[in-house]
Structure 1
Amino acid sequence: MTTSPSVAVITGASSGIGAVYAERFAARGYDLLLVARREDRLRELAAKLESLHGINVQTLTADLAKESGMQAVEKSLRSNERISVLVNNAGVAHLAPFTAGSAELHQADIALNITALTRLSLAALTRFQAQNSGTLINVASVVSLHARAGSSVYSGTKGYVLNFTRGLQEEVAGTNVKIQAVLPAMTATEIWEVSGVSMENLPPAAIMTTENLVDAALAGLDQGEAVTIPPLHDLAKWEAYESARLAVFESCLTGVPAPRYQK
């Protein structure tokens, strides 16, 4: 009796980080469900990966900033019991002063970066927890740790992704469900084309290839990391940050205003 391969679902799979995730999971023997808005690119990638790796690749053309797109992917996640991996990679950035953008633009960014990611995580984790297996990868960003002028919405959405993922990790602690947050920094993807910032204006030495980013992220996953920051060389800095973050939180559990706020 043969067992069908597990399926990895990857959003934003038509290019960049998502396309590399698709290639890497295909190389690991997974069948794929690739989700993106550009049908032609999805089909081209699907044909390439099927030919190279002898796997089955399905595509789902969906705009995850829209209700219909979210519902289509949710349906697949709930109905296909072979799905064991979800990579929430789809995202968008508009890097400009907050008041330069319209309410509609900001809402669309929030819908894709936050709402879709939350709903797809719910659809996947409901089944992953029921069967006590599965992997959820949420792609956040190093700007989840810091915001600058022009990145308020994008940094805000990625800050949500990081904290949302932290909470989920605590909920599945002690089970066989794996959840990872990945924090890229400057990465050579098409997101810059719509962000308002040209890659030509970025320091070349700071830009990571998508291949290096994904390979490092998957190495972190294999090592059991909860949060993976591919370009961070000095792990002690992250450990100090985490220690300070938790210390600040725990120090706030007093119920008494700090002396500086008392007359």
Structure 2
Amino acid sequence: MADDVLRKTVNMVDKALPVVLITGASSGIGAAFADRFARRGHPLILVARDTDRLGAKAGKLREETGVEVDVIRADLTNAEELALVESRLAEDANIGVLVNNAGAALPGSFLDQSADDVAGSVALNVTAVARLARAAAGNFVAKGEGAIVNVGSVLGLVPEFGMTIYGATKAFVQFLSQGLQAELGEKGVFVQAVLPGATRTEIWERSGRDIAALPAVMAVDDLVDAALVGFDRREDITIPALPDLAQWTAFNNARVAMIPNLSLAEPAARYRNPA
């Protein structure tokens, strides 16, 4: 009888769901990820700058779902505060999923944005994402399992839209995700890049852009629900708005087809024999 109880206890421990750490978790996409993972039964660690909103979100999730919710108040552009989150990711063996969601867009065009504005955007959208992914990856590889979800943007694919710095940072997120999946997939770590289109979040107001002027805007809940379908399917790239997956497949296949010709011993003939 005692052995049966022990076996059941061990099985319950084995089935314990991993802790999910989510950045930018007090509103928008991050808050929706928190809601969905909590309703799946995952304990959470929520990271954001706004203490009041962060506490309110955590309290609501505890009350509605009964899961354990911890909070870390951190500005990820601050090196010391970023380091606190990195340490938690690197040292807490219970964490099994990182949702790298925190990010922001700048108002105006490239020439309207100061050098300090650009540096701040890179610090949040690039440096913090890479450092947190690195901290989590070391932890996950040591355990032989884990998942990193990096929230990018379709703007990383579309320079024509004019949000140059934001789009460039999100192109980095996509490349980082694909590179990490290639490096870490065989070590038990799954890496997904989620590429939202226009989504109804506060990012538009903060960047000084009129969301009403956009032709189509997706609801946050719809975006995150689609992202999690991709997560469950283990898609390395999830584009919730894209109706035809064959378009992405063709795009990626064209990229792969160029690989043998991207680094050769001589310039292409079209450069050696200009018309």
The 8 Å contact of residues 97 and 149 in structure 1, kept in 2 or not, is answered as no
Partner of 1:215: 225
- TM-score, normalisation: structure 2: 0.92
CA distance in structure 2 between the partners assigned to 1:184 and 1:69 by the alignment: 27
CA distance in structure 1 between the partners assigned to 2:102 and 2:29 by the alignment: 9
- SS of the residue corresponding to residue 60 of structure 1 reads strand
CA distance in structure 2 between the partners assigned to 1:53 and 1:114 by the alignment: 33
Find out whether 1:190 has 2:202 as its counterpart: yes
Partner of 2:61: 49
Q: CA deviation at 1:245?
A: 1.1
Match of 1:118 among 123, 126, 130: 130
Which residue identity is paired with 2:248?
W
The 8 Å contact of residues 96 and 150 in structure 1, kept in 2 or not, is answered as no
The 8 Å contact of residues 185 and 191 in structure 2, kept in 1 or not, is answered as no
| 1:110-149 equivalences in 2 (<5 Å) | 110-148=122-160
Partner of 1:262: 272
Moved more, 43-52 or 83-92: 43-52
CA distance in structure 1 between the partners assigned to 2:213 and 2:161 by the alignment: 16
| 1:1-263 equivalences in 2 (<5 Å) | 1=9, 3=13, 5-148=17-160, 150-203=162-215, 206-263=216-273
Q: Any idea what the Cα deviations from partners look like across 1:110-133, whole Å, max 9, x if unmatched?
A: 000000000000100001011101
CA distance in structure 2 between the partners assigned to 1:55 and 1:166 by the alignment: 32
CA distance in structure 1 between the partners assigned to 2:85 and 2:236 by the alignment: 25
Instruction: Give aligned pairs, total.
Output: 261
Q: CA deviation at 1:184?
A: 0.2
The 8 Å contact of residues 140 and 159 in structure 1, kept in 2 or not, is answered as yes
The 8 Å contact of residues 107 and 113 in structure 2, kept in 1 or not, is answered as no
CA distance in structure 1 between the partners assigned to 2:131 and 2:173 by the alignment: 12
Q: Which structure's CA Rg is the greater one?
A: 2
CA distance in structure 2 between the partners assigned to 1:128 and 1:41 by the alignment: 29
CA distance in structure 2 between the partners assigned to 1:220 and 1:95 by the alignment: 31
Q: CA deviation at 1:151?
A: 1.0
Which residue identity is paired with 1:14?
S
The verdict on how the C-alpha distance between 1:149 and 1:22 changes in structure 2, with shifts beyond 3 A counting, is: closer
For structure 1, list consecutive stretches of 5 or more residues without a partner in the other structure: none
**Cα RMSD after superposing both structures:** 1.3
The verdict on how the C-alpha distance between 1:185 and 1:262 changes in structure 2, with shifts beyond 3 A counting, is: same
Q: CA deviation at 1:149?
A: 5.8
Matched-pair identity in %:
45
- SS of the residue corresponding to residue 174 of structure 1 reads helix
Give structure 1 regions of 4+ aligned residues with deviation exceeding 3 angstroms.
none
Which residue identity is paired with 1:210?
V
